[in-house]
Amino acid sequence: MKTISLKFAAYHPPTTDEARLGQEFIDLIQERTSGAVKIQYFTGGALLKAGEMYDGVQNGIADIGEGALSYNPGKFPEMDLSTTPLGVPSPWSITHTVNEMYKKYMPAEYKSTHVLWMWGNGPAVLMTSKKQVTNLDELKSLKIRAQALTGEIVKALGAAATSYAMPEMYDGLSKGVVDGVLVDPSVLISFKLGDVVKYVTDVSKAIGNSYTFYITMNNDSWNKLPNNIKDIFTQTADELIEKSAAAINRQDIAGIDYFKAAGGTIVPLSGAEVARWQAAVSAVTDEYIASVTKTTGISADVQKEHFKFMQDRIAYWEGEQVKRGIPFPLK
């Protein structure tokens, strides 16, 4: 049998968990096909940059690519529902949920490639450098770094949303240019924000939005694979769902641990406050659904069904996480 040679493009640097997940997939495929498939790996945007990834895979520049929905605003409206306030408790639960969402509904936005698997990052938490936020009123005078739909969430909560590049956030927080940031906990260690943030308010139940990442394959490259090789790809990708869920969950735990070791304080919201925040951000989801209907023609009823499905599966996977003894970053 002739060797099948494929190119895999990733935008994450080679030392990251995300790039290591791609390498693990490659190693398993090459082992399980007894060398019949050889995959060349291009990390750190060497072959395709993050914003070029989906189109680059679709057009055959790479056979397989690692991308993030957030780099192509508006291109993946159905899967981008994960960025609305869903009440996500952990990366582990949302990773299983977005894969189920994709497999159940097969959104047309991905039909030009063959999706292998997805993962979601941790739910955003509110990090502040000087002021502890225990209720909605204390948030309203603050400048919070938040981009895209997260910025709309911040505005709905009554704070001022400001766009600030993440590599600049350390200086922005330490100098008081911004008061806080709404983002997943992993940046507390990856960008060393745990050194300048004093408080992390757990808003996962109150907001709990997440960003989705994907590994997808060129349709022609997929269709050319023999059926037995396709089966190996599918089985291996399914195994990488759990591996991805666990890896991203560990990232958030590491961020929180780093923050605590630096003397930071975790601030819980009371049940009454969670309800206030949920009421304040509910319009963000409604407005998102209305905008998608206007631009794509996807009905509000269809989107609401998808939203409800995701909420139900998040609740299921949260229960599974408890049963299996898998730690939550903020519990």
Structure token digits, residue 78: 């159905």
According to DSSP, residue 37 is labeled: E
Matching fold, domains 4-120+211-252 and 125-208+264-323? yes
What is the spatial distance between Cα 223 and Cα 137, in angstroms, rounded to a whole number?
A: 55
Structure token digits, residue 120: 């979601």
Cα Rg of the chain, angstroms: 20
pTM of the model as a whole:
0.96
**Is domain 4-120+211-252 classified as CATH 3.40.50.2020?**
no
Q: In what side-by-side order are the strands of the sheet with 143-145?
A: 160-162, 143-145, 180-183, 125-128, 199-201, 265-267
Instruction: Please report, in tens digits, the pLDDT of each residue of the chain (331 residues total).
Output: 689 999 999 999 999 999 999 999 999 999 999 999 999 999 999 999 999 999 999 999 999 999 999 999 999 999 999 999 999 999 999 999 999 999 999 999 999 999 999 999 999 999 999 999 999 999 998 999 998 899 999 999 999 999 888 889 999 999 999 999 999 999 999 999 999 999 999 999 999 999 999 999 999 999 999 999 999 999 999 999 999 999 999 999 999 999 999 999 999 999 999 999 999 999 999 999 999 999 999 999 999 999 999 999 999 999 999 999 999 999 7
What is the spatial distance between Cα 298 and Cα 291, in angstroms, rounded to a whole number?
A: 10
According to DSSP, residue 62 is labeled: -
Give me the helix-helix angle, 300-323 and 271-296, nearest 10°. Answer: 140
Closest listed residue to residue 90, CA positions, set 121, 118, 117, 119: 121
Domain parsing of the chain, residue ranges: 4-120+211-252, 125-208+264-323
**Is domain 125-208+264-323 classified as CATH 3.40.50.620?**
no
